[in-house]
Structure 1
Amino acid sequence: MRRRTFLSTLPAGALIAGASSASAQVTPPSPGRPTEAAPAPARQPEPFASVGPGDRITGAPFAGRSTVWGANGAAATAHPAATLIGIDTLRRGGSAVDAAIAINAALGFLEPVANGIGGDAFCMLWDPAQRKVVGLNGSGNSPRGLSLETARSRANDEGYLPSYGAVTVNVPGTVDAWWSAHQRYGKLPWRDVLLPVAELCEQGVPVPQVIAYYLERNMTIFDRSSRLIEENDNRKTVYAPGGRVPGVGEMFANPFLGRTLRLIAEGGRDAFYDGPVAEAIERYFRRIGGWMTRADLAAHRSEWVEPIRTTYRGVEVYGLGPNTQGLSTNQILNVCEQFDLAGMGFQSAASIHHQAEAKRLAFEDRARFFADQRFAAAPVEWLNSKEYAAQRARLIRPDRVMDRVFPGDAPTQGDTTYFSVADSDGMMVSWIQSNYRGMGSGLAPDDGERPLGFMFQDRGELFSLKDGSPNLYAPGKRPFHTIIPGFACRDGEPWMAFGVMGGGMQPQGQAQIIINMVDYGLEPQAAGDAPRWQHEGSSEPTGQPAEGTGVLHLETGVPEATKAQLAAMGWTLGPPNGGFGGYQNVVRQPNPGGRWTWGAATEMRKDGIALAY
């Protein structure tokens, strides 16, 4: 079976591009049958492969830069212009939520390969007034008019929903998530948050290196899959003006999105869900043969939720429950807490082995239980418990890979962008937003005359079509979601708003950040710059079974001795595959005299920056 890797920020071709040439065979799709996109040709040998990083006079030698510090506010995003617009919003008197909305709106233009108003959003934030972490689920339902029978008729040869096209499109939840957060925590007028972003879309910006790479990859994949996508002209008009995508350093503007953001700025969330944008979306799907209606959009509402909580060696770690995979982070950490990772050594084979085995255990539960809780309630309390973690930890062998992993016998009950921002009042926001597989479904709506400037998500791909699955497709249901914000506290005080982008990498990456900082004492920037591991091949909530013991991908910086020892333990090792995520972090540091400061760190694997002031 050919496995899909659920990396919402990375298109399939980009992931395969770094693999061996032996896997780069191009197979033409069967006529009329949804299939995965053909892989891109293998890359040429990297001329700088044998060269390591330069030397730093202080801190971890592998860290690419220092954590930045400020007293009044901070922001860390995947694009420099988005970070700047967040800082500017704070300086204009906006709250961290105002800044988060502005950042997210800007990233939909600046980083369309990962997110946009056609996708869903989730956040956790520290509410200084309530002195607690609160959560927001901004994911949308499947169309009411799309039946399970029809969805099954669109399945690919493997029996799963395809990656692209109208059958994968759910109600976009992002704009309502902005509105819900702003209604509760906004300081600036709604229009004053969005209009500067609309102007940015119209003026344009130069395209940075990583985003240019993925934009070209996404558009190439869409072109190869065009027969599976009901409408292809609008995406080309928006993202390949003049017949080509912009290259590194070239100017790119999206006046179509600017116009849509102006409608939302003036008309509020109703402009999108029950106004001119909703009307245009309904007409678009009626024309191309989809199922989304204005009624589907008008019925959508974001949901304020109570995050689930665990502790890891005294640190309080928070996550959002199903339909997200936030519980997986907690489960990985709960199992890892049973072992002395610090004593095993940083980047040692023993440490990575135990972490990866904890991931395998957690992901079997993820595949078995995680779904929309309105349709199938998971035993969250039990799965999140220390007692259960201790049982699962006993299954791990210290010297060999577990041959097979099964979900626990728990009691039964009925491509992405991430950013962090904090303000002078002490509010911290951890926000994640995605269109899923790279840019999404390939469908970019129009109003009959011109595009609206965004692409719809393809989150519906993550539904199962198998009877008995809690994640079985149903009309009006939320699919299983990979995107998860992260948050951690110490002694009841907020510590960090953090996240790691990238589908199934997200809980693995979040756990590695916590472990790097708690067990190995790394500061925020070094914790993100450290080499990462990623395990693929676990069972999936779509119904895909585990593929043996899977593949453990290791970044280049993992010591060669560690790689050799892991191979001797029975791990199948894979090369760096471009899927190690995208990390951002804002930390709160208490200081003598009672005044805290903000530290911000960003991902060296992306284009972004972290700033504080």
Structure 2
Amino acid sequence: MLDNFSSSQIIRKAVVATKGGVVSAQHRRAAEVGASVLQAGGDAIDAAIATSFAIGVLEPWMSGPAAGGAMVIWRAKEQKAHVINFGCRSPRELDPADYPLSGSGKSADLFPWPEVVDNRNVQGATAVAVPGVVSGMDLAHKHFGKMPWKDLVKPAAQLADEGLLVDWYTSLVTGTNAKVLSKDPDTAAMFLDEGRYPIAGSWTANIEQHLNQKAFAKTLGQIADQGAKAFYHGDIAHALVKDVRDKGGCLSLDDLSHYEAELVDPLTIHYRGGKVFAAPGLTGGPTYGKALEILAKELTPKAGAPGSDTYSAYARALSLAFKLRFENMGDHESPAAPGCTTHFSVVDQEGNMVAVTQTLLSIFGSRVVSPSTGLLLNNGIMWFDPEPGKANSLAPNKRCLANYCPIVGQDAMGRTFALGASGGRKILGSVMQLTSFIMDHGLDIDQAFHQPRIDVSGGETILADQTLPDKVMAALNEVMPTVATRRSVYPYSFACPAGVMRAGDLNTGCTEIMSPYGDSVAQAS
């Protein structure tokens, strides 16, 4: 593989060990918000709620209140795991006939479904599904939170009032998506200069520029003051529905008022003398569990760093697990698609843990902004197969099938860890490998996150980190054709994970080493 980049540069992230809490998130400032909640006496759940709302401001193209997702919670005192599923749903008034196939081949976005006329399932208000983040955070707070709800949401409102600082990475993300962002006037006004160009600072002066997120700040302020009911029943609900319907979508007040996140038992996976807890149902959890089940048979762990046998077993386990997923769940996302998702993990000083993944689906979701609320909206309708008669075919009031895979694990040595990632279908392999690095090879969070990974996402090839030894590459090629690539900043060749670990009373955390925003922040001592 030819490229123009240095072959000698080494990139690492420092891992801080502390007896206090740690928040690992895809944006440093969001992690700081969560860590400040821990410092104020909140627990891991409080910190996760605050981080959720903050990261929706700081990574608006990845998630936000108009997104969906899932979280896994570990209560140390009870030694018990819980799952909150807040995935998106299709609107009740949705008519599959409004999404006719164009007959022009496959969609060019995340999923290689048959293309729909005008890409109505991918972009625009017709692609918007019922969001679940606010309901999910509300349910977590009611069952497990300690601090007042208002104190957890207000920091995000303050960040939005300030507006996201536009830096080189913001310009890179908006610039590479400028063409699609320009199609909605409100989206273009928020993210683009003159509705066409990426917003960028001057080359010669240190002039700070910020996105205008004032409407978003007002919405977050209402959520902080009035709770989730403002989003699903109050002024925000009415304004959001009007905006979506004015732009041609079918989201209704009934959709919002009837939406409820679910508190459910986790999928419990016994592995190598330990346990892993994952989200059940229409998530990546069942496929992740199947991959570990296959890996337990394919791999005989050896002491030390993973070698050829390990990586070959990863490839076989993931390939078979995805084959079974496609046959039984109907999810056929493009292996090359990055997805638009964020993940963060939290551990507090008592050992409670939370792993949260939330997503708009595509990058910038539907590429539609609700002008009254300032919310960038999801394109969850694209999770469904537009072709009728399939396991995952488009239908009204139906739960979306997603790939997110937050997990909490406990290994045979008694260490606990919370993991997850963004990256579309690449998430499953990333989380499985990190789990194996920890549970099969005894790596700590620092070693696991710096260990090279591969990606097998149901396609015909293996994508392998080019720093893997030649012996490993040769072994992988015997499983299936293997392509070497580098870990890069944009786009990501592999998923973008974030995790925390607790060993004894010591907590650590790490994020994807190539992420320029991602960081682990420790509670102040």
Q: Shorter-chain TM-score: which interval? A: 0.7 to 0.9
Query: How many residues end up aligned between the 2 structures?
Result: 492
Is 2:12 the counterpart of 1:98?
no
Query: Residue 604 of structure 1: CA displacement?
Result: 0.8
1:501-512 aligned at under 5 Å gives the runs 501-512=422-433
Match of 1:222 in 2: 181
- Whole-Å separation in 1 of the counterparts to 2:150 and 2:102: 41
Is 2:34 the counterpart of 1:75?
no
TM-aligned CA distance change 1:211 to 1:331, over 3 Å: farther
Is 2:412 the counterpart of 1:460?
no
- Whole-Å separation in 1 of the counterparts to 2:476 and 2:354: 37
Structure 1: 5+ residue stretches without partners = 1-18, 21-44, 54-62, 227-231, 373-414, 539-548, 591-595
Is 2:439 the counterpart of 1:518?
yes
Is 2:499 the counterpart of 1:589?
no
TM-aligned CA distance change 1:277 to 1:222, over 3 Å: same
TM-aligned CA distance change 1:492 to 1:467, over 3 Å: farther
Q: Which of the residues 449, 461, 465 maps onto 1:555?
A: 465
Match of 1:289 in 2: 248
Match of 2:8 in 1: 51
- Whole-Å separation in 2 of the counterparts to 1:601 and 1:570: 31
1:204-223 aligned at under 5 Å gives the runs 204-207=163-166, 209-223=168-182
Match of 2:187 in 1: 235
| Matched-pair contact (CA < 8 Å) for 1:324–1:370 | no
Is 2:303 the counterpart of 1:317?
no
Match of 2:336 in 1: none
Q: Which region of structure 1 is more displaced relative to structure 2, 251-260 or 310-319? A: 251-260
- Whole-Å separation in 2 of the counterparts to 1:242 and 1:465: 35
Q: Which of the residues 470, 477, 481 maps onto 1:571?
A: 481
Match of 1:423 in 2: 348
- Whole-Å separation in 1 of the counterparts to 2:132 and 2:68: 5
* Aligned-residue identity in percent: 26
Is 2:521 the counterpart of 1:600?
no
TM-aligned CA distance change 1:331 to 1:283, over 3 Å: same
Which letter does structure 2 place at the counterpart of 1:183? K
Match of 2:403 in 1: 482
Which letter does structure 2 place at the counterpart of 1:306? D
Q: CA offsets per residue over residues 294-343 of structure 1, 9 Å max, x none?
A: 11111100001111111221121111122111111111111111133534
Match of 1:115 in 2: 63
TM-aligned CA distance change 1:308 to 1:154, over 3 Å: farther
Match of 1:175 in 2: 134
- Whole-Å separation in 2 of the counterparts to 1:300 and 1:73: 32
Which letter does structure 1 place at the counterpart of 2:468? V
- Whole-Å separation in 1 of the counterparts to 2:192 and 2:89: 30
Query: Residue 555 of structure 1: CA displacement?
Result: 2.0
Structure 2: 5+ residue stretches without partners = 107-113, 332-339
- Whole-Å separation in 1 of the counterparts to 2:73 and 2:193: 38
Query: Residue 579 of structure 1: CA displacement?
Result: 3.4
TM-aligned CA distance change 1:216 to 1:355, over 3 Å: same
- Whole-Å separation in 2 of the counterparts to 1:492 and 1:295: 49
Which letter does structure 2 place at the counterpart of 1:164? Q
- Whole-Å separation in 2 of the counterparts to 1:365 and 1:172: 28
Secondary structure at the counterpart of residue 371 of structure 2: coil
| Matched-pair contact (CA < 8 Å) for 1:550–1:572 | no
- Whole-Å separation in 1 of the counterparts to 2:185 and 2:326: 37
Secondary structure at the counterpart of residue 337 of structure 1: helix
- Whole-Å separation in 1 of the counterparts to 2:30 and 2:92: 35
Secondary structure at the counterpart of residue 438 of structure 1: coil
TM-aligned CA distance change 1:187 to 1:109, over 3 Å: same
Query: Residue 122 of structure 1: CA displacement?
Result: 0.7
Select the structure that is richer in strand.
2
Q: CA offsets per residue over residues 81-102 of structure 1, 9 Å max, x none?
A: 1111111111112221121111
TM-aligned CA distance change 1:238 to 1:156, over 3 Å: farther
| Matched-pair contact (CA < 8 Å) for 1:141–1:478 | yes
- Whole-Å separation in 2 of the counterparts to 1:526 and 1:440: 34
Match of 1:33 in 2: none
Q: CA offsets per residue over residues 471-509 of structure 1, 9 Å max, x none?
A: 122100012111121110236967011112211111100
Secondary structure at the counterpart of residue 361 of structure 1: helix
Match of 1:264 in 2: 223
- Whole-Å separation in 2 of the counterparts to 1:561 and 1:493: 33
| Matched-pair contact (CA < 8 Å) for 2:88–2:380 | no
- Whole-Å separation in 1 of the counterparts to 2:514 and 2:155: 28
Match of 2:334 in 1: none
Secondary structure at the counterpart of residue 143 of structure 1: coil
- Whole-Å separation in 2 of the counterparts to 1:129 and 1:155: 56
- Whole-Å separation in 2 of the counterparts to 1:46 and 1:315: 44
Q: Which of the residues 229, 245, 262 maps onto 2:198?
A: 245
Match of 1:392 in 2: none
1:95-174 aligned at under 5 Å gives the runs 95-152=43-100, 157-158=105-106, 159-160=114-115, 162=119, 163-174=122-133
- Whole-Å separation in 1 of the counterparts to 2:156 and 2:141: 16
TM-aligned CA distance change 1:550 to 1:99, over 3 Å: same
Q: CA offsets per residue over residues 242-266 of structure 1, 9 Å max, x none?
A: 5543448944242221111011111
Match of 1:184 in 2: 143
- Whole-Å separation in 1 of the counterparts to 2:452 and 2:167: 23
Query: Residue 524 of structure 1: CA displacement?
Result: 0.3
Q: CA offsets per residue over residues 350-397 of structure 1, 9 Å max, x none?
A: 43222112111111221222379xxxxxxxxxxxxxxxxxxxxxxxxx
- Whole-Å separation in 2 of the counterparts to 1:570 and 1:185: 46
- Whole-Å separation in 2 of the counterparts to 1:517 and 1:171: 37
Q: TM-score, normalised by structure 1?
A: 0.75
Which letter does structure 1 place at the counterpart of 2:42? G
TM-aligned CA distance change 1:492 to 1:557, over 3 Å: closer
TM-aligned CA distance change 1:492 to 1:324, over 3 Å: farther
- Whole-Å separation in 2 of the counterparts to 1:151 and 1:111: 30
Query: Residue 138 of structure 1: CA displacement?
Result: 0.3
| Matched-pair contact (CA < 8 Å) for 2:461–2:482 | yes
- Whole-Å separation in 2 of the counterparts to 1:514 and 1:288: 44
Match of 2:362 in 1: 437
Q: What is the CA RMSD across the aligned residues, in angstroms?
A: 2.5
Match of 2:337 in 1: none
